[in-house]
Amino acid sequence: MPKQTGRQNNEDSTDKLQGPSFDEIKEVAFQNVGSMLKDLQAFEQAIQNEDIAEIYRIYKGKLHEELKKTSNKNHEIDELLAQKIHDSFTQAFPFIHHEQKISPTMNYYRLGDYYRERATIGIDASTPEIFVLPNIDKEWREFAPGKRDALNKIEKEMDELDANIITAESEISNIDEQIKEIENEKTSVENTKGLFNRNKTEEEIEDLDNKLQALAEKREGWLPYIEDKSKTNKKREELMKNHHDMRLKQAVVTKEFRLIQQYFGSLKAMNQQIQDFLTAYLGSAKGGNHA
């Protein structure tokens, strides 16, 4: 096999590296770096001007990932965004107060001041998003003024428990009488069993046994109400506690709806005003300049 010369090796290597020229590569790199610098300068200018809409547009959009990490290494951008929307939000709604900081970008707020203060609204500055907390939204749906479904259900359970305790003794007495009658009937049938009516008699006995089994199961269901007082008392206590907790929740929700009515007019109006605030906040030249 002929031995390749050094010149041939160089030619082969040159062939393998064929592609964009160095000048072309340099031009693309220059443009990329220039674009990154331009984005960084625009980002710095947006921060300097407190142009919230522009900060979100650049930071959440085209800013290079490494620049994002560097600029937000210690949550500086997160804190800035959270503080700006907090200032604007509490300026627009002075009756809504900060309750708890969950993370650099997540904060919870309470509606007004009342005897059971709790967070009801969350702001996620990273998105940004303003929302009713999921557990609060669930309670508002369940215990809104005029809604008694949950209370009615537990009150019905309490009434049924009391009724069962009262009627258990008479029900068991009645069942015992039926069992006694069927057992007597079964004894009578067994005594009349003969060679020629054996099949019919066995069918009758099986039918009576089924009735006895059904009555025994029914009796078993009533027994706890008179034999295991501790169990029924515990059940009653659980129902009473649940009822008390529900009434308390309903009282809190009722108070919150009164505040919503006072400050916004209605829950629907509150949601709309908060959405309008967020739209204006993101559309403004500078965050925080609107009430």
pLDDT for 214-233, tens place per residue? 999 888 888 888 877 788 88
Sequence-ordered list of residues with C-beta below 8 angstroms from that of 197, at least 6 positions apart, any chain: none
**Cα–Cα distance, 196 to 216 (Å, whole number):** 32
Q: Can you give the residue ranges of every domain in the chain? A: 22-71
**Cα–Cα distance, 56 to 51 (Å, whole number):** 9
pTM of structure: 0.65
| Highest mean predicted confidence (pLDDT) among 1-5, 46-50, 80-84, 121-125 | 121-125
**Average pLDDT across the chain, whole number:** 81
In this predicted model, what pLDDT tens digit does every residue of 94-145 receive, in sequence order? 999 999 999 999 999 999 876 567 999 999 998 899 999 999 999 999 999 8
Split at pLDDT 50, 70, 90, the class of 13 is very low
Give the range among 53-57, 208-212, 235-239, 275-279 with minimum mean pLDDT. Answer: 53-57
